[in-house]
Structure 1
Amino acid sequence: MRRTFRPALLTPGLLPAFILLCVSLGAGSARAAPSALPFHVGPPAAWVKPLPIPADPGPMPAGEEETSVLRLLNEEQVRVSGHSRVQYRHSARKVLSPQGIDRVTDIQIHFDPSYETLTVHGIWRIRDGRREDVFQPAGARVIQQESELQNRLYNGTLSVVPFLRDVRVGDTVEVAYSLEGANPVFGGRFSDVVAVGQPYPVVHFAYRLLWPEGRPLFIREFAEPGVKHSESVTNGEREVVLERRDVPAVRSEDKVPSWQHVYPWVQLSEYKDWNEVARWASTLFQVPANSKALEQEMARLAKEPTPEARFFAALRFVQDEVRYLGIEMGPNSHQPHPPDEVLERRFGDCKDKSLLLVTLLKGLGIEAQPVLVDTETRQALDEWLPTAIAFDHAIVHATVAGRELWVDPTATLERGGLDSYEPPPYARALIVAPDTKALTVIPSPALAEPSVFVDETYVAQDRDAPATLEVVTTRTGESANSMRRMLAGVSVAELSRYYVNYYAKTDAKLAVVKPMTVDDDPVKNVLVLREHYRIEGFWSSKGERDFSAHSLHQYLSEPGFSRRAFPLEVEHPVFARHRITFQSDEPLNITSDHELVEGPAFHFESDTRADGKTLVLDYRYRSVADSVPPERIAEHLKAVHDAEEQGGYGLRLRGGSARLQRSAPPSTKGGLALLGVIAGCAFLWFIISQGTPAELWRKGRAWGRRRAFARKFDGDSQGDSAGAAIPVASAHELLATISRLRCACGTSSECEWEALRHEAVILGERHLTLVQWQCPACARARRAYFEDKGTTRAA
């Protein structure tokens, strides 16, 4: 399911490297007449009032300097009349350096031919005060650029790609075009969002809306002072103008919660309340009369003995046997395909699978409704005006045996019963029913017990004898689901190979004693991995041995920005435990101890217990909030440091016995070259990761939240390109960052082992790593660039 926000004025950036399906313009298309093109060329409509390009303001204030491109003008004008909508876009950018030439000339104009008509007014090069139209319609290429192909979504959008000649440093490139038409799925209802702050400075920004007088329109500003908002009425039209001059860049920070507004914006909507939105959605999610195929499937499911068994049989059929693939042409951006069609072809996107599940459940006598959610904006939807474009995902609300459930039909291999089922972490939902009046709160997932429990047992004799290590990792809930998805795509032997290499980084002479085993209890949703090793040279040459709660390090990373204007995102809910048991053949002279670190976002407990020849180190990490406010960052960092100090211990042999002394855990900061450790430590991601959903939305899908606002303009979102690589200081931080990148299907960013790839990229003095993986729930391809902070500082 995709949002239908207005596209960017320009969408520059590198041409996507994934598959481009070219729409041929015929043999000799470079010589084709303009009439053969799927777009028009001509002047703007008479109601448009193009703004002049402002003069170059000269040197910019400190901190606002631009080195490659100067944005002189970003302008949009919209006219709404009846069900029709026309959008005029106009921009001008000046090239400041050779690097800026690529950014200014890489122009792509997107439109949906199923309901939009594109008219290009011109592309002009301004040099030494002379303005020349350099747009050659016959030389432009029209590409069916499926920008969401990697997400297994097909929307039919076309892109006009002009190839500009002879653009030099100092030139200004001006672009103007119009789009006429609106997606018919909205029935003529209007919604829009306007970003009035951007990740780069702009000399002049303007948005103008012509609106029928007397037709309701609601406006809400999420903006800072400095936005000029004016309105007037002329000849039966209401004119709304938003304008800013000398707009400063909005500087974002790392690890900002997705629900936090970073870029100021203004929302416009024709919907007076959420009931209007719910009634609109109800017309799209109609449960049809049963087809023969549907009746046969319901008859099969009805053979289950209880309502609970029938519910889970239907859910798991839709989750596991109907693959994720979306055809979202035109109205199907929001309207699901008929359930019998989805059942017959055995694929669909989130809304297709949700309506199919609701249809099956109702046929089985189980109350169920489709639900619209926003996987990132979440509780911040409480601040929004009601609008049909607020949602990016569809799930299902059901009542089974008196229990309320929120289930995601796109998640795969989920197991467990009603008592253990965890609601997805989406916070707010719009139940698709004509009588829905408001958003509904989805209960937050609660973890009463650790969802990941790593239990290591070492048995060591004297200094020269080999030691043994047994590792039992118990996963429950979504963590068990995530591991089960991975095991569906990789053998236990292959998984074991990566685990062995992980432990071998500490103990080079480690050997496997017994093959890894997996015990999966789908009824309780508990999955247990068991590993058995022998370790030669267990003690160092000085008779020392360090222990660390390594599986908890990912939760104790520090942000790149500690002086913050925005909250710091913390993975939540998390409840993880790591226990280390050491058995010696000599008595241990050790004092029991208990430590508790309480921070604003987590609690970290450590227990040291000794009983004769046995030492037990027990660590527990539990999140208590999903973010840290800026004023409490120092307190949070202190808690992180204190927890790191409590997370490691050292044993030292003294004669025939051992004495315990505390030591810092293996450092997760500095001295760890990112490019050298990714391959060896990548499997650690599978050991310690949770199933928390995470990924950035693609272009054009998410104007309502921070990352999407950034992607709407020139700049790339963090990780999307080499120029926007995510800085990390260690492999632990890289892996923790990947765990927060939410997939568009709303599920965990866990990936199948064989799909995980990395590639070193050297750009001058910068050392980057391109990491590629695959979402196990929907099989979407994922990728992100990372940069070693050491090279960032050097640069």
Structure 2
Amino acid sequence: MDNQIEIENYRIRKSEEWAGNIDDQELINRIQDSDFARQQNNDGKDFCYFLDKKYHTSNTENSEYVCMAYTLNEPANLERASVSDIVVEENEVYNIHRISVLRDGVLIDKIPDTKIKVLDSENHSSGGILSSNKKINITIKDLRLYDILILEDSRVKPFTDRDFLRKEFSKYVWVSPDNYWAYGSYKFTFINERNEKIAYKKTFFRDENGNVLEPEVHYLEKGEKFVFEETNYINPVDANREIFPFIDFATDNNWIELSNYIAPIYQEIFNKSSLKDFAPNLVDKLDSMQDLEEKIQFAIEYVQNNIYYIFNADEMNGHKPQEPAVTYENKQGDCKAKSVLLKVILDYIGVEASIVLVNFHTDFYIKYYLPSLLTFNHAIVKINHKGEEYFIDATIRDEFGTLENRGFIYFMHYLEVKSDQELKERKPHRYPYFCVDEKVDFNVKDATGKLVLTTTYKGNRANAMRRYFKNTNKREVIDSWNNFLFYSLNYSNDRNGTDIRNIFKDASIDIISDDKKLNEFRIQYNATIENPYFVDPKNNRFLMYFDRNLVKTSARDYMHKDLPFWHNFDSEKYEINLYTDQKIDTEERYTAQESTINNPYFDFKSRKKVSKNGATVYIEYNPLVNLEIPQNEFEKFRTDHHTVADSNFGLGIDVIEPGLMNMLKFNFKKRFK
């Protein structure tokens, strides 16, 4: 350990003074068997004798230190330990302090047996994503089952001028460990060496009965530490139904202070130059349009489709956007650059717009986090138009429609880039249109069925279907519809194993229309079906069409204790017509049953029209979306979805077989059922 090996992205060296220093004998003394350790071994688990983790932050760098010793009793863990990858950001250095094993009571230095390669990190390296990240590949020779592996390392991220936001603000989220591992000793330390006070908030910790405790907020002045320490520790969280306890550390600020910090940075960019100066051709195009809705659509789609999206991972560490003139000239930019250009264009045509900061991945947690600009990882545009709020992601491609017909982005929390702003929550949303509007016609004559589906998609569904048909082989598309219909018509229960292409003869699917202003995409599916009836084991014949898209399994099966159910279903409308040249049972439950559900979070209605030779069902499903269902209201929500699943998501008709005996049998069943 005396030789200090230094490479650009990693070093082999002693730990820093703030991390402490542990000698070999102390390591051996800390690796002691106990009843707790033996119990884990008897249970067939690997065991971590100790994990000591420290996070150190200052106004010049962030550092993270780990020292740990764990068993390699499982082949999978041995394999992972033998070859591992560490990804470091630009200007970040990975320090290796110790790689050793304790084998039969003897401590063996494994650094001489370690091979290290530095590679470009290929993760997310295409599709306009630029990154200076490096991947450090570490291979340790001759690790053996039942070794105890000891790793001591740290990561240091010095701040450059590009990291101006990290210099000003700190944010770190500690999450309690995976509950697979048992720890003889677990210790986490947060060290504040910044000039500013850091707040920390403990969230989703629980009492002895498993009840979530109220969050606690405390503060660390410069030089102070926070320590979380446990012995003989297994994280008790129920990983499938509970949120792991976490602690959010952030420089002590409120949202108004943060918005007042970021707003002038963007305003300076907006004031650099006017659209007329740097984009005269674009201005001429806008000026030639008479309709404001057309101008808005053109502006959005111009930025989305003509400005190439480059996600520069290094630039995203700060919030200073690229000037709109540069974005326009180079025809490329990240989310901030594209959003700023779109706002400048909207300003020119007189449409109120602003930049908003979001994080779609951690949206649920933002209300629990402490205020921090480092919470956000994406910028989009908010438009106020005709009394409505619209949110546009300028980085998405191939989206269409005038403003009210465009796709809807699901998220709740955002910070508007203006002065004196608080964190905001979006309003719940009810679609002004049906995302799916489908008519099903299934007519059977002389034992042959003619099936026609005509479907209109709007909003997100139209955009998605347009892309799907553009990028997918026609035969694959038809097979997908055939497979869906195989279950919808209940053929899976009387001819399972049959080649689906032999059931749906001459199947075809065609685009009927594509209106890019209304954002409506209409298709039609046609097929001929021999033996169209579902036949039960008693040789009774039925026509059935049940669309399982209406059965919201995710709502019916949801069991999480901490996460409220996020409601984001599409509005849907169906007309299903099943007709035959046979006489049917007009009073059968599946044929006659109707339903009306008025839940606070969705309305559902099914209405029937029945004749002697068939029936029609009209179904409408209108949800209130982009919201969390409160836990005290969820069971009613779940029960109402069970009602939808109770034969209210389609239509079935029973054929009355011809002949005197069959008629007598039918009348008898009707009388006594």
Q: Normalising by structure 1, what TM-score?
A: 0.69
- The match for 1:130 is 106
Q: Which has the higher helix share?
A: 2
Q: Aligned pair in 2 of structure 1 residues 58, 99: CA closer, same or farther (>3 Å)?
A: farther
SS at match of 2:140: coil
SS at match of 2:191: strand
CA RMSD of aligned residues (A): 3.9
- Flag the structure with more relative contact order, 1 or 2, with Cα contacts below 8 A and sequence separation at least 6: 1
- The match for 1:75 is 52
- The match for 2:285 is 300
- Asked if residue 163 in structure 1 is aligned to residue 162 in structure 2, the reply is no
Deviation per residue, 1:201-259 (Å, 9 max, x gap): 341322223324873221111142589x999999x7222222233332355556x7xxx
225, 231, 244: which one pairs with 1:239?
A: 225
SS at match of 2:568: coil
Q: Using the alignment, how far apart are the partners of 1:513 and 1:168 within structure 2?
A: 59
Q: Using the alignment, how far apart are the partners of 1:223 and 1:249 within structure 2?
A: 13
Give, as a single letter, the amino acid of the residue that structure 2 aligns with 1:530: Q
Q: Residue 503 of structure 1 contacts residue 510 of structure 1 at CA under 8 Å; is this kept in 2?
A: no
- The match for 2:327 is 342
Give, as a single letter, the amino acid of the residue that structure 2 aligns with 1:451: C
Q: Aligned pair in 2 of structure 1 residues 103, 644: CA closer, same or farther (>3 Å)?
A: same
- Asked if residue 147 in structure 1 is aligned to residue 123 in structure 2, the reply is yes
21, 26, 47: which one pairs with 2:18?
A: 47
Matches within 5 A, 1:634-653: 639=640, 641-646=642-647, 647=649, 649-653=652-656
- The match for 1:615 is 615
- The match for 1:595 is 595
Q: Using the alignment, how far apart are the partners of 1:61 and 1:593 within structure 2?
A: 62
Report how far residue 264 of structure 1 moved: 0.6
Q: Residue 200 of structure 1 contacts residue 250 of structure 1 at CA under 8 Å; is this kept in 2?
A: no
- The match for 2:524 is 530
Between 1:42-51 and 1:522-531, the stretch displaced more is 42-51
Q: Using the alignment, how far apart are the partners of 1:568 and 1:61 within structure 2?
A: 39
Q: Using the alignment, how far apart are the partners of 2:219 and 2:595 within structure 1?
A: 65
Q: Using the alignment, how far apart are the partners of 1:569 and 1:60 within structure 2?
A: 39
Q: Using the alignment, how far apart are the partners of 1:595 and 1:584 within structure 2?
A: 24
Q: Residue 197 of structure 1 contacts residue 247 of structure 1 at CA under 8 Å; is this kept in 2?
A: no
Q: Using the alignment, how far apart are the partners of 1:279 and 1:596 within structure 2?
A: 50
Matches within 5 A, 1:242-281: 242-249=228-235, 262-281=243-262
SS at match of 1:301: helix
SS at match of 1:82: coil
SS at match of 1:140: strand
- The match for 1:677 is none
Report how far residue 196 of structure 1 moved: 2.8
Q: Using the alignment, how far apart are the partners of 2:72 and 2:655 within structure 1?
A: 64
- The match for 1:574 is 570
SS at match of 1:102: helix
- The match for 2:302 is 317
Matches within 5 A, 1:199-598: 199-203=179-183, 204-212=185-193, 215-225=196-206, 237-249=223-235, 262-282=243-263, 285=266, 286-287=269-270, 288-290=272-274, 293-329=278-314, 334-378=319-363, 380-400=365-385, 403-421=388-406, 423-433=408-418, 435-462=419-446, 464=447, 466-490=448-472, 495-496=477-478, 498-500=480-482, 502-503=484-485, 506=491, 508-512=502-506, 516-539=510-533, 542=539, 544-552=541-549, 555-556=552-553, 565-567=561-563, 569=565, 571-585=567-581, 588-591=584-587, 592-596=592-596
Report how far residue 618 of structure 1 moved: 3.2
Q: Residue 71 of structure 1 contacts residue 201 of structure 1 at CA under 8 Å; is this kept in 2?
A: yes
Report how far residue 112 of structure 1 moved: 2.0
Q: Residue 446 of structure 1 contacts residue 573 of structure 1 at CA under 8 Å; is this kept in 2?
A: no
Q: Using the alignment, how far apart are the partners of 1:62 and 1:452 within structure 2?
A: 56
Q: Aligned pair in 2 of structure 1 residues 611, 359: CA closer, same or farther (>3 Å)?
A: same
Q: Aligned pair in 2 of structure 1 residues 598, 92: CA closer, same or farther (>3 Å)?
A: farther
Give, as a single letter, the amino acid of the residue that structure 1 aligns with 2:410: P
Q: Residue 232 of structure 1 contacts residue 240 of structure 1 at CA under 8 Å; is this kept in 2?
A: no
Report how far residue 100 of structure 1 moved: 2.0
SS at match of 1:472: strand
SS at match of 1:481: helix
Q: Residue 210 of structure 1 contacts residue 237 of structure 1 at CA under 8 Å; is this kept in 2?
A: yes
- The match for 2:80 is 103
Q: Using the alignment, how far apart are the partners of 2:66 and 2:331 within structure 1?
A: 41
Deviation per residue, 1:257-309 (Å, 9 max, x gap): xxxx7111111111411133324444654334258653433333333224332
Q: Using the alignment, how far apart are the partners of 1:230 and 1:350 within structure 2?
A: 33
Q: Residue 79 of structure 1 contacts residue 87 of structure 1 at CA under 8 Å; is this kept in 2?
A: yes
SS at match of 2:90: coil
Q: Residue 351 of structure 2 contacts residue 385 of structure 2 at CA under 8 Å; is this kept in 1?
A: yes
Q: Aligned pair in 2 of structure 1 residues 221, 504: CA closer, same or farther (>3 Å)?
A: closer
Report how far residue 480 of structure 1 moved: 1.6
SS at match of 1:495: helix
Highest CA radius of gyration, 1 or 2? 2
Q: Residue 203 of structure 2 contacts residue 247 of structure 2 at CA under 8 Å; is this kept in 1?
A: yes
- The match for 2:149 is 173
Give, as a single letter, the amino acid of the residue that structure 1 aligns with 2:655: R
Report how far residue 395 of structure 1 moved: 0.8
Between 1:306-315 and 1:489-498, the stretch displaced more is 489-498
Q: Aligned pair in 2 of structure 1 residues 181, 411: CA closer, same or farther (>3 Å)?
A: closer
Q: Aligned pair in 2 of structure 1 residues 233, 403: CA closer, same or farther (>3 Å)?
A: closer
Q: Using the alignment, how far apart are the partners of 1:223 and 1:582 within structure 2?
A: 52
Q: Residue 604 of structure 2 contacts residue 619 of structure 2 at CA under 8 Å; is this kept in 1?
A: yes
Unaligned runs of 5+ in 1: 1-31, 662-795
Report how far residue 396 of structure 1 moved: 0.4
- The match for 2:210 is none
- The match for 2:496 is none
Q: Using the alignment, how far apart are the partners of 1:640 and 1:233 within structure 2?
A: 48
Q: Using the alignment, how far apart are the partners of 2:98 and 2:356 within structure 1?
A: 43
Q: Using the alignment, how far apart are the partners of 2:567 and 2:387 within structure 1?
A: 31
115, 120, 129: which one pairs with 2:96?
A: 120
Q: Residue 278 of structure 1 contacts residue 436 of structure 1 at CA under 8 Å; is this kept in 2?
A: yes
Report how far residue 475 of structure 1 moved: 1.4
- The match for 2:495 is none
Report how far residue 392 of structure 1 moved: 2.8
Q: Using the alignment, how far apart are the partners of 1:298 and 1:237 within structure 2?
A: 56
Report how far residue 56 of structure 1 moved: 4.2
Q: Report how many residues are paired.
A: 618
Q: Normalising by structure 2, what TM-score?
A: 0.80
Between 1:374-383 and 1:553-562, the stretch displaced more is 553-562
- The match for 1:785 is none
Q: Aligned pair in 2 of structure 1 residues 180, 59: CA closer, same or farther (>3 Å)?
A: closer
Between 1:439-448 and 1:59-68, the stretch displaced more is 59-68
SS at match of 1:237: coil
Matched residues, percent identical? 16
Q: Using the alignment, how far apart are the partners of 1:166 and 1:83 within structure 2?
A: 39
- The match for 2:64 is 87
Q: Using the alignment, how far apart are the partners of 2:76 and 2:104 within structure 1?
A: 20
Q: Using the alignment, how far apart are the partners of 2:437 and 2:411 within structure 1?
A: 25
Give, as a single letter, the amino acid of the residue that structure 2 aligns with 1:593: Q
